[in-house]
């Protein structure tokens, strides 16, 4: 698959939103009471999760921009933030799944970033294809890991969401390299909203799996 043909994954992601996001308020008085009791802690956790995932795309974008402008110092500083952010995202699941799971997620996120860097460095269509294959494979690995930890996260749905996220990175790199800044601005808006979808899905699934921790 050519890397710029990621659009089917976006369609999958739109379908995934309907599967993972809440469909509406509960109807019974009992469920309404339980929802009200946990809303504050869930909202707080969700806000933190959104901030972490938004930080991911923010700093990766900085790496891309700095690299394309040959600003190695800025690229190095941004990359350090990418790594720090990945550690924070991984640490966010440790209270629920333990240190081993946190370390596993960090390794998978490192693989995601490494594949994005491979695409950024690719100078030929063949190299781009190889990088895209890595991006898509890594999306599947993260989906399997998260779904295995939490049954409220369907693996195929996650795979679609994460592959679409990788596609956003690819499209952004292409647009910044082509200096198509108006198109990249639209992609950036889509990336941010997509990060919110992923963060919301993770928070909702964790809250459903561990209701006592959000009481």
pLDDT at 180: 99
> 4 lies in a domain?
no
pLDDT at 39: 79
Structure tokens at 105: 């997620």
Report the domain count for the chain: 1
pLDDT at 38: 55
Work out the percent of the chain whose per-residue pLDDT is above 90: 81
DSSP strand E in 29-105: where?
Answer: none
> 157 lies in a domain?
yes
Q: What is the pLDDT confidence band of residue 215, given thresholds at 50, 70 and 90?
A: confident
> 20 lies in a domain?
no
Q: What's the whole-model pTM score?
A: 0.85
Give tens-digit pLDDT for 10-34. Answer: 444 444 444 454 443 333 333 444 4
Cα 203 from Cα 102, distance rounded (Å): 16
> 32 lies in a domain?
no
Give tens-digit pLDDT for 57-75. Answer: 999 999 999 999 999 999 9
Give tens-digit pLDDT for 69-113. Answer: 999 999 999 999 999 999 999 999 999 999 999 999 999 999 999
The pairs formed by 91-98 with CB atoms below 8 angstroms and a separation of 24 or more are 92/48, 92/49, 92/52, 93/149, 93/206, 95/213, 96/206, 96/209, 96/210, 96/213, 97/149
Top pLDDT among 8 and 181 is at 181
> 13 lies in a domain?
no
Structural domain including 51 reads 38-211
Give tens-digit pLDDT for 144-163. Answer: 999 999 999 999 999 999 99
> 31 lies in a domain?
no
* Arithmetic mean of pLDDT, 115-138: 98
Return the ∠ at Cα 199 (arms to 181 and 51), rounded to 5°. 65
> 156 lies in a domain?
yes
pLDDT at 151: 97
Cα 141 from Cα 106, distance rounded (Å): 12
> 17 lies in a domain?
no
């Amino acid at each position: 698959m050519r890397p710029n043909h990621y659009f089917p994954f976006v369609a999958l992601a739109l379908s995934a939103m309907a599967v993972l996001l809440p469909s509406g308020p509960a109807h019974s008085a009992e469920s309404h009471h339980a929802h009200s009791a946990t809303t504050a802690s869930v909202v707080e956790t969700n806000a933190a999760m959104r901030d972490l995932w938004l930080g991911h795309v923010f700093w990766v974008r900085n790496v891309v921009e700095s690299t394309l402008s040959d600003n190695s110092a800025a690229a190095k500083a941004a990359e350090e933030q990418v790594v720090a952010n990945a550690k924070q995202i991984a640490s966010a699941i440790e209270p629920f799944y333990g240190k081993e799971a946190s370390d596993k997620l960090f390794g998978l996120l490192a693989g995601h970033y490494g594949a994005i860097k491979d695409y950024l460095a690719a100078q030929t269509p063949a190299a781009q294809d190889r990088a895209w294959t890595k991006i898509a494979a890594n999306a599947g690995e993260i989906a399997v890991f998260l779904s295995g930890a939490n049954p409220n996260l369907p693996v195929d749905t996650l795979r679609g969401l994460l592959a679409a996220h990788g596609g956003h990175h690819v499209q952004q790199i292409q647009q910044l390299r082509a200096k198509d800044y108006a198109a990249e601005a639209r992609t950036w808006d889509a990336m941010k909203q997509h990060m919110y979808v992923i963060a919301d899905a993770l928070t909702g699934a964790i809250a459903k799996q561990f209701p006592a921790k959000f009481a």
